[in-house]
Amino acid sequence: MKNKFRSIVLLLSIFLLSNCAMYQRQLALTMFDVRLGMTREQVVEVLGRPSMVVSAYTTENGDQIEVLEYVRNESNSLTDQVESRPIWTYFINNELFEWGPGENWETDAAFRRAILNRSKDYQQNRPRR
């Protein structure tokens, strides 16, 4: 009876771990399908539901900013440990403007201003479709 229980627990653990690894691998692969200018809905369609909404607000001049977080587990080749790496997607007025490693959004006001300025420059100078 004990051996049967252990076997079931072991099989269940292997199944759960393989599903988690498959999801993380899938996120790593689908980041290649993400393109600047995509809408929030298009990004969610490609990457799936985010793990959290980091920030969402409207600026004084009416720009809507939203930051979504996706978490990817990566193996550290130096320590042989699996580490979580957040990837943040930055949307300005529902358009993907930037993505990259998660930052400390609340304490980095300078970064917020810089991304808004870059967005305005991009919108003014981008080729019309």
Q: What pLDDT, on the 0 to 100 scale, is given for residue 4? A: 66
Q: Which range of residues forms the domain containing residue 35?
A: 2-125
In tens, the pLDDT along 44-101 reads 999 889 999 988 889 888 999 999 999 877 777 777 888 778 889 999 999 998 888 8
Residues 6+ apart with CB under 8 A from 93: 63, 64
Summarised one tens digit per residue, pLDDT across range 25-40 is 455 556 788 999 999 9
* CA 30/CA 22 separation, integer angstroms: 12
Confidence (pTM)? 0.61
CATH number for the domain that contains residue 119: 3.30.1450.10
User: Residue 15: pLDDT above 50?
Assistant: no
pLDDT at 41 over 90: yes
Strand partners, 99: 89
**Domain count along the chain:** 1
